[in-house]
Structure 1
Amino acid sequence: MIHTFHLAELPPAVTARALLRAPSAATTPGLDHAECLALMRLGAPTVSPDRLQLRRIAVFAQWRDDDAVDRFLSDDALGRRLAGGWHVRMEYLRRWSRLAALPGLPARAGGWDQDEPVVAVTVARMRLLEVPRFLRWGKPVERQVRDHPGTTLALAAVRPPRTISTFSVWRTVREMEEMVHGRSELPDPRRHADAMTERRRRDFHHEFATFRFRPLAEHGSWEGRSGIVPLGRA
C-alpha cells in the first residue's frame, strides 16, 4: 500500500469534472480511494476567489502499489494531467479518528524519528450548520500552520459542499508535534490545541481524520519549486 498527494494547475472544467466524478477503484486499476479537491489559500477571507481555486487541484489517494500510481499517471486522462504537476509518495504511519472511505488503515503502522520529515493530511466532512463556527476557530489555525517556520508547504483544499482537507509538509516530526500541542515559542501557540478542544466539545464534522505519513519520493514541481520535501536532510 502507498499513498500519494498531487498538486496541479488545470483548466477549471477539468477540475470541476474531477470534483464531481473522482477516480475510483471501479475505474482505476490498483486504486483504493481518491479525494479530488480544489485548492484554497490558507487564511483567505471566507468570501474570496482564493477559497475555491478551480484552476488548481489537489488529489489525495491510496493505492495498492507504486505500479498502480505509475499506470494512472501514464494511462489515465486525469492522471496524465496530474503527471505534469507535483506529487509526493508516502508511507502510512498513523491516524487519529477514522475515515469511512479508508476503512482498513490501522491506528498505527510504524515508528518514526523525531528529527525526520513528516507529512500530515486531514480530511473532514463538515456539518453544514457548523461551518460558521468552524471558520471562527479554524482560520487562526490555518494561519498558524501556514506561517510556521517548520513547514515547507501548507495548504487546504475543498470539495463542495462539505469536504475539506489540509496538507502540510514538515521539516521534522518534533516541530509538527510542538505546534499540535501548543508548545512552540511562536505567538499564540495554542491556536491548534484550543481548536481541537472546541471540536471535542461540539464536533464541527460528520467525520474527521488526521493521517501521518513518511515521505518517500517527490516528483515534479509546484509553483516553480522542487525539493519541497526535505528528504535526506533531516
Structure 2
Amino acid sequence: MSIFSYHLVKIPFSTAIKAICINPIPKNTKGLIHAEYMSSMTLGSAIVSTSRFLIQEVVVFAQWEDENALDDYLQEERFGRTLANGWHVRLSFMREWGRFKDFRIPEHKSELDGANSPVIAVTIARMKPLQIPRFLHWGRPVEKLVRDHPGTTLSLASFKFPNTVSTFSIWRTEQEMTDMVHGHNKVPKPKRHAVAMKERDRKSFHFEFTTLRFKPISESGSWKGQKNFVPNLKEN
C-alpha cells in the first residue's frame, strides 16, 4: 500500500541553490511515485522579508509505493541520507479535495483511531502567474489563521519556482481543523479561511489544486531543536 512522507531539513545555501535548478530526487528513483522538492516559507510573513523565502530550509513531499521504498531511499541514496538527518512524518491517505495529477490517489482510505486523534493537512497547487497577487491578498490572512491557531502543533508553507505553492499543518484533532475551515473557532476573525475559499470558487487562483488529509503513521528526527510534533505518536 502506498504511503506519503513529508520531510524538513536544513542544508547549505550552495547545495540548496543547486537543488532548485536540478531536482535531487530523480523521477526514476526506485519505489517513488512522485516527489515535490520545495523551499520553506513562514506562514503569514511579509511578502518581502527574509522569513518569506527560506532557501536553505528544504521541504520534500513525496508518495512511495510502500514504506520499504522510503526506508531504502533514506538509507541508500545520497540525498535520502541528507533527508534522514532532518525530520519527517509518514502519512496514510484519508481524503482528497480537488486534483493534483502527479500523485496517485489510493483507493483505500484510512480512518482515524478516534475523535481525539491527530490529523495532518497538505495543500499543493500550480499557480496561475497572473493570479499570484490576488492569491497573496486573500491567502496571507488564512496563513496567519493557521499559523496562530491553538489547534496546530506545526504549520508552514513552501514554494518551488516558478509557480508551485504548498502548505502543511499538524492538528491536534480533526474537529479543530474542520472548525477552522468552516470558521467556527473562537479565534480572531475566524472566517478568514471560509471567505478565501469563496473567492477561490468565484475565480480560481490555480491551474490545479488539491487539499489532502492524512492519518500520521510515524514521526522521526527533529526540526529546529524540537521533536514529537504529532501528539500521541512515538518517535522512530
Calculate the TM-score normalised by the size of structure 2.
0.94
**Residues 45-99 of structure 1: per-residue CA shift (max 9 Å, x gap):** 1112222211100000000111111111111111111110000011111000110
SS in 2 for 1:51: coil
Q: Does 1:188 align with 2:189?
A: yes
- Equivalent in the alignment of 2:111: 111
In structure 1, what is the Cα distance between the partners aligned to 2:78 and 2:141?
Answer: 38
CA gap of 1:17–1:32, structure 2 versus 1, over 3 A, is farther
**Residue matched to 2:39:** 38
Give how far 1:232 is off.
Answer: 5.0
After superposition, residues 1-234 of structure 1 pair within 5 angstroms as: 1-22=2-23, 23-26=25-28, 28-106=29-107, 109-112=109-112, 113-232=114-233
Amino acid in structure 1 at the alignment position of 2:101: A
Taking only aligned residues, the RMSD between alpha carbons, in angstroms, comes to: 1.5
Residue correspondences, number? 231
CA distance, structure 2, for counterparts of residue 232 and residue 200 of structure 1: 36
Amino acid at match of 2:152: T
SS in 2 for 1:49: coil
Cα separation, 2, equivalents of 1:87 and 1:232: 13
**Uncovered stretches (5+) of structure 1, i.e. residues with no partner:** none
- Corresponding residue SS for 2:35: strand
Which whole-Å CA distance do the structure 1 matches of 2:11 and 2:175 have between them? Answer: 35
The range that moved more, 39-48 or 142-151, is: 39-48
Q: Percent identity?
A: 46
Displacement of 1:110: 3.4
CA distance in 1, matches of 2:220, 2:161: 28
User: Unpaired segments of 5 or more residues in structure 2?
Assistant: none
Q: Secondary structure, in 3 states, of the residue corresponding to 1:95?
A: strand
